[in-house]
Amino acid sequence: MQHNKLLILVFALVALVQIYVPAKMVYDSEVVLDQGTAYKFRTAPIDPTDPFRGKYITLRFDIDEFEIDTSEVWERGEVVYVELTTDSLGYAKIAAISRTKPYEDVDFVQAKVRYASNRYSTLHIEYPFNRFYMEESKAYDAERAYWDAARDRETDCYALVHVKNGEPLVKDVLIDEVPIRELVIMNNAAAEAAELENSKN
């Protein structure tokens, strides 16, 4: 009987740990959303031949390159810390990139080095928050809307990213201040209405 009680106790412990892992993820994310600073990461046009990823859309940002001193050697996959600030239009801008974590009162995110171009003295980086999950039926249309908006420089297309203590969180993707989910719903509704019109005539 003692043995039994011990097993049950251990199981309860294991169950708590199993709950703790996703719960901590929720807590940390909510903290970032609540207390973090919101940055608008302007999106870059994606090469249309990128493979469609299904349940999420892939994001690429304007600020994924930065001018550097060519005397330094950067390795592919190396972790770097990107200090953020805002430009005159309200979009996120890279203030500096370093190999060490900045001090506490500066907003930064972690990123990985994609490659360094000595010719143009630029460092190309990859942000970890490059996915925005969407419900399956909307994902494809959303990605198309996103591509079109990103390529068209007149449109205001950006990802709203909350940052706290170096932890980033993509809150939403907006095209001309309309959240992309709503935009897709609107587009689909408009398309359906147009079809109805056509079939009537």
Residues forming the site for another protein (CB under 8 A): 7-8, 10-12, 14-15, 17-19, 21-23, 25-26, 29, 55-56, 76-77, 128-136, 138, 168-170, 181
What minimum distance in Å lies between the beta carbon of 173 and another protein?
A: 10
Which amino acid makes up residue 121?
A: S
In the three-class reduction of DSSP (H, G, I as helix; E, B as strand; rest coil), residue 159 is classed as strand
Q: What would the 3-class secondary structure string for 52-120 be?
A: CCCCEEECCECCCEEECCCCCCCCCCCEEEEEEEECCCCCEEEEEEECCCCCCCCCEEEEEEEEEECCC
Beta carbon nearer to another protein, 134 or 149: 134
CA 53 from chain centre, in angstroms, equals: 15
What minimum distance in Å lies between the beta carbon of 13 and another protein?
A: 8
Provide the b/e sequence for 154-175 (b: ≥16 CB within 10 Å).
eebbbbebbbbebebbbeebbb
Using CA atoms, how far residue 13 sits from 6, 8, 16, 18, 67, in Å, is 11, 9, 5, 9, 51
Nearest Cα to 86, choosing from 78, 96, 77, 95? 95
Beta carbon nearer to another protein, 70 or 124: 124
What minimum distance in Å lies between the beta carbon of 197 and another protein?
A: 27
Beta carbon nearer to another protein, 5 or 200: 5
How far does the chain reach from its first CA to its final CA, in angstroms?
Answer: 80
What minimum distance in Å lies between the beta carbon of 63 and another protein?
A: 17
What minimum distance in Å lies between the beta carbon of 129 and another protein?
A: 5
Beta carbon nearer to another protein, 86 or 130: 130
Beta carbon nearer to another protein, 19 or 121: 19
Beta carbon nearer to another protein, 34 or 105: 34
What minimum distance in Å lies between the beta carbon of 119 and another protein?
A: 24
